[in-house]
């Protein structure tokens, strides 16, 4: 084994050991912790999350998956924050969604105008919603709105907003 490979192996081992030690001493990094106690809410068993994807950007499958993941996590964090700030409607929906399977549905829209209209309808209805804006490092221009996430929210109310859309 040459010296550069040895140095790389030693560096990697040290990095893994330091990470394990830091986790053991300090726990999970704070920015990833979500303290949501669903026992204080009345779980609804009829909630879902929808991910609305723009078709006009022609993103490949991997890009769509990554953007949907960003959207799911973003709206989840927003829902937790709303629940912790006393929004019991969001708390009940979130608790139910976490308890009864975390249903997610992917839908499609032709472009940004439709995405923004749906976002406005969701906010007006009181549902957690977020639009992901791409950084532009790979396939699409920076600032492109790619995916809208709505929910977790009651199925009938989400369907009033997105029920006419086709599956992705």
66-107 pLDDT, tens digit per residue, is 999 999 999 999 999 999 999 999 999 999 999 999 999 999
How is the chain split into domains, by residue range?
1-30, 34-162
Average pLDDT value for the chain: 86
* pTM, rounded to two decimals: 0.79
| Cis peptide upstream of residue 53 (ω within 30 degrees of 0) | no
Tell me the pLDDT tens digit for each residue of 8-51: 444 444 444 545 544 555 555 555 556 678 888 999 999 999 99
**Looking at domain 34-162, which of 1.10.1780.10, 3.40.1490.10, 3.10.20.30, 3.60.110.10 is its CATH number?**
3.40.1490.10
């Amino acid at each position: 084994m040459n010296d550069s490979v040895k140095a790389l192996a030693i560096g990697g081992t040290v990095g893994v050991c330091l990470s394990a030690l830091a986790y053991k001493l300090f726990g999970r990094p704070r920015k990833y912790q979500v303290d949501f106690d669903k026992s204080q809410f009345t779980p609804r068993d009829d909630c879902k999350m929808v991910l609305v994807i723009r078709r006009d950007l022609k993103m490949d499958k991997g890009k769509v998956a990554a953007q949907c993941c960003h959207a799911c996590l973003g709206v989840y964090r927003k829902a937790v924050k709303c629940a912790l700030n006393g929004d019991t409607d969001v708390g009940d929906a979130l608790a139910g969604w976490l308890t009864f399977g975390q249903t997610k549905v992917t839908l499609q829209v032709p472009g940004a105008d439709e995405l923004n209209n749906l976002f406005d309808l969701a906010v007006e209805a009181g549902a957690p919603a977020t639009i992901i804006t791409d950084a532009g490092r790979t396939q699409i221009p920076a600032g492109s709105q790619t995916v809208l996430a709505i929910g977790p929210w009651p199925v009938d109310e989400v369907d009033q907003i997105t029920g006419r859309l086709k599956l992705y």
